[in-house]
Amino acid sequence: MSIETRKTDKILIKNLVVRNTVGVDSWERCKTQPVVINVCLYTDITPAGDSDHVTKSIHYGHVTKAVTKVAEETTFRSFEELAHAIVKVGIIKFGAVKATVKVEQPRALLHAASAGVEVTRTSADLAELAAALEKQEKSGGASTSFETVGDVSGFGYEDVVFVKDLKLSTIIGVNPWEREEKQVVVINLHIYPLTRSEEQKSYHVRTIVRSVSRHIEASGYKTVEAFVAAIARICLEKCHVSKITVKVEKPSALVFAESAGVEITRDQQWLKEIQEEESKGGKTYAHFMEQSRFADVPANYTHSAFIAVGSNVGNPIANIESALALLESQCSSTVVDTSFLYETPPMYYTDQAPFLNGAIKILTSLSPEDLLRKLKEVEAELGRQPSFRNAPRPIDLDILFYDDIVYNSEVLTIPHPKIQEREFVLWPLCDIAKGMEHPTLFRTCGQMLSQLLKVTAETPEGPLKITKVLPMHRSANVMWKWDAKTYVMGILNATPDSFSDGGEHMNVEAAVAHAERMAEEGADMIDIGGMSTRVNADETFPVDEEIRRVVPVIQALRAKGFKLPISIDTFRAEVAEAAVQAGADLINDVSGGSRDPEMLAVMAKTKVPVCLMHMRGTATTMQSKENTTYENDDVVEDINQKLQHLIDQAIGSGVYRWNIIVDPGIGFAKTGSQNFDILREMKQIIGHDAPLEGFPCLVGPSRKKFIGDATGVSEASKRGYGTAAAVAASIAGGASIIRVHDVREMSEVAKVSDSVWKKGRDL
């Protein structure tokens, strides 16, 4: 027998139970918990076997004592860290040539039997690891741990993170009785690490289980095959795992068997292939979209950071936008995502103006402290002066997270030490990183916000009054507060062929008079259009003609001191840019930026709010059978997918999330029944946990054909009562803006509807 073969002899310790604090328990508390450890040390037992002397082998009693000492006298942040510490005991202290350690926590997850990790290292691995760490320390790099499973340092290719017997209740099965009552399914997950060629992505077992559980408990699959594939896809797509084995069992499936089930193994290559197939089939999924602007990010911008932004001096929105521009021009960084904006009361020092707060995600080449220095330079350039702590400031930029590291120095702590106590940080952070897990608190941003809200609700003061807002750029003092009321957008058609009022406002004087009249009747914004979007409308006339129809009206209104925000209704980039230069405050594009290849760039450059609408085809083709036929007859699902795609494209082109409004496109490529489906199911688009949750929504049902078909009123201008019902339904579904012809009447409908459905509205 060769020496190498004899080195595969094993010393085994099975199910050693220790008490330790490893992360948090099933209720996410830092408590002492039982941990089960299995150790396999590879060595040559020949000398002990020949002499019958244990001193010539690795003494399992000594190993047990050493492992227990390490496990019980140290607090570890993760299973991986504990497992690696035990591996080092086996290899360095006891001389094993190789060690496999399994760490299992029976109380890790509320609905699973256990979770844990199994790692394998060799003596050569540890020698290389020590050299890598020494090199990093000498270079002064950030304290990124090499002790994680599947780290790109190159170790741990045999490692696995596992979740054992996760039990969930869901509808699953093809039999009629299985569609009526939920049954228990048992899920086992084995998650494999990255390879050297793959980009590192962070994931955590709690995040994975949370994502899987939320999806499965709300699902209703007919087959276990589809069920298990969906779980694999969620883990690969949303949680960024490299490779996963999923086993799903149905204990209730067979009378004379313990269970029936399916097991599959899938990886990122599989995900890429099915994405390509779906793309060919015309499907789009939010998490699969390539954001066009990201292709321009320099290759050395390999670090991601989340930064809190805030301002309460001067013009806050201008300050924030200037800060983002300086980040990109002077800080070796690219802004890749933005939150919504929130008006928040000051904390700590309260005798000052409210703040405008948001959060951004950047890609950067800078180290944490270099990034901090650059942020301080940006603050100084925008006028921030040294003052007392928590004083008013024109701009405030704080690093919240940097990659997934934990970093502490004299000048910087990452993650930011006060994230968990600041609503004004967590609200915007949850817009772009709700599922991101805090590396030391072991809670996602969403969980931290939820728990903070529960705590503040019990205080005498109650929760802070934090309001999502939209700044209107041309009027610095106009701030639309989305929870305050439903805003009324009055329609001004400077067109000869609109379906309801074509030709009535073609000259500037008539258009201005109509805008002023709508303002008196209660409009909050005027939407000016120079091209009809009715069915079979002419879309071929020159751009110059459309500009000639709308720009003089905008200029005349602004010259008269017209105070309301103005929207430009167009899908042409040149028209939009000319209108904004003339004084328009919002771009309302029925194509969502998809018809004109230059539109997204104009939206990003002008930095005005934009409305992205769902539609198919053109004015000539949108009501064809092809464009009104939706997969599974589900128009709402198509709206969700298409609008998410449009949002991704806009953000990827530099449009800020806080400037985006969505529109389901009532009357555009929809049949009458589909329009009613939209009104009935608005909450499936923008409600709690809906795909577009958080985005303000514009709905424009005014005088449209589906209302006439339902009421029998053929003349568009006489469809006021039917429009009122549609407006009320829109507001009940969560609409933030209604686009209407009859401003006075619909303003009254909105006020009454707000009193019923919008909490906190002042009467």
Could you report the per-residue pLDDT of 202-213, keeping only the tens digit for each? 457 877 888 888
Q: Which of 251, 283, 315 is the last residue of a domain?
A: 283
Give pTM, 2 decimals: 0.73
Domain at 401, CATH number = 3.30.70.560
Tell which residue, 718, 721, 723, has the closest CA to residue 706: 723
Residues 674-679: contacts with CB under 8 Å, at least 24 apart: 674/628, 674/630, 674/635, 675/701, 675/704, 675/706, 676/706, 676/710, 677/635, 677/636, 678/635, 678/636, 678/639, 679/726, 679/729, 679/730, 679/733
For the chain, what percent of residues have pLDDT higher than 70? Answer: 86
- Flag whether pLDDT at 595 surpasses 60: yes
Expressed as residue numbers, the domain containing 592 is: 483-757
Mean pLDDT of the region 567-594: 96
Residue 281: what pLDDT? 55
Mean pLDDT of the region 285-295: 40
Residue 392: what pLDDT? 81
Three-point CA angle 230, 292, 308, nearest 5°: 85
Domain at 21, CATH number = 3.30.1130.10
Same domain, 410 and 558: no
Same domain, 710 and 689: yes
Same domain, 189 and 229: yes
User: How confident is the prediction for the chain on average, in pLDDT?
Assistant: 85
Same domain, 443 and 572: no
Same domain, 124 and 244: no
Domain at 539, CATH number = 3.20.20.20
719 classed as catalytic: no
Encode pLDDT of 295-305 as tens digits.
Answer: 468 888 889 99
Burial 471-482 (b: 16+ CB within 10 A, else e): bbbeeeebbbeb
| Domain-embedded: residue 57 | yes
Instruction: Give the C-alpha separation, 319 to 464, whole Å.
Output: 24
Domain count, the chain: 4
| Domain-embedded: residue 269 | yes
- Flag whether pLDDT at 111 surpasses 60: yes
The residue annotated as part of the active site, out of 243, 549, 607, 704, is: 704
Which 8-state DSSP code applies to residue 290? P
- Flag whether pLDDT at 2 surpasses 70: no
Encode pLDDT of 609-647 as tens digits.
Answer: 999 999 998 888 888 998 898 988 899 999 999 999 999
Number of H helices, E strands in the chain: 22, 25
For the chain, what percent of residues have pLDDT higher than 90? Answer: 54
Residue 153: what pLDDT? 37
| Domain-embedded: residue 290 | no
Evaluate whether 146 touches 81 at the Cβ level (below 8 Å). Answer: no
Predicted confidence band at 255 (pLDDT cuts at 50, 70, 90)?
confident
Q: Which of 230, 256, 283 is the last residue of a domain?
A: 283
Same domain, 152 and 194: no
Instruction: Give the C-alpha separation, 462 to 686, whole Å.
Output: 27
Same domain, 654 and 622: yes
Same domain, 462 and 532: no
Same domain, 253 and 383: no
Mean pLDDT of the region 133-153: 47
- Flag whether pLDDT at 400 surpasses 90: yes
Same domain, 121 and 196: no
158 versus 253: the higher-pLDDT residue is: 253
Bridge-partner residues for 19, per DSSP? 34
Residue 763: what pLDDT? 37
Encode pLDDT of 154-186 as tens digits.
Answer: 445 568 999 999 999 988 888 887 777 888 999
- Flag whether pLDDT at 4 surpasses 60: no
Residue 455: what pLDDT? 84
Same domain, 396 and 423: yes
Evaluate whether 189 touches 117 at the Cβ level (below 8 Å). Answer: no
Instruction: Give the C-alpha separation, 315 to 356, whole Å.
Output: 10
385 versus 311: the higher-pLDDT residue is: 311
- Extract the tokens encoding 602: 């104009």
- Flag whether pLDDT at 554 surpasses 90: yes
Predicted confidence band at 144 (pLDDT cuts at 50, 70, 90)?
very low
Provide the 10 A C-beta neighbour count for residue 27: 8
- Flag whether pLDDT at 288 surpasses 90: no
Residue spans of beta strands (DSSP E) within 171-259: 183-192, 243-250
- Flag whether pLDDT at 7 surpasses 80: no
Evaluate whether 322 touches 309 at the Cβ level (below 8 Å). Answer: no
The residue annotated as part of the active site, out of 88, 534, 719, 739, is: 739
Evaluate whether 224 touches 262 at the Cβ level (below 8 Å). Answer: yes
Evaluate whether 110 touches 26 at the Cβ level (below 8 Å). Answer: yes
- Flag whether pLDDT at 444 surpasses 90: no
- Flag whether pLDDT at 151 surpasses 50: no
Mean pLDDT of the region 278-290: 46
155-159, 262-266, 290-294, range with the lowest pLDDT? 290-294
Helix, strand, coil distribution of the chain in percent, nearest 5: 40, 20, 40
Mean pLDDT of the region 316-320: 92
Q: Which of 107, 133, 158 is the last residue of a domain?
A: 158
Same domain, 689 and 583: yes
Encode pLDDT of 699-748 as tens digits.
Answer: 999 999 999 999 999 999 999 999 999 999 999 999 999 999 999 999 99
Instruction: Give the C-alpha separation, 351 to 379, whole Å.
Output: 22
Mean pLDDT of the region 537-566: 90
683 classed as catalytic: no
Mean pLDDT of the region 6-16: 85
Tell which residue, 285, 224, 231, has the closest CA to residue 259: 224
Mean pLDDT of the region 575-593: 96
Tell which residue, 203, 170, 173, 168, has the closest CA to residue 187: 168
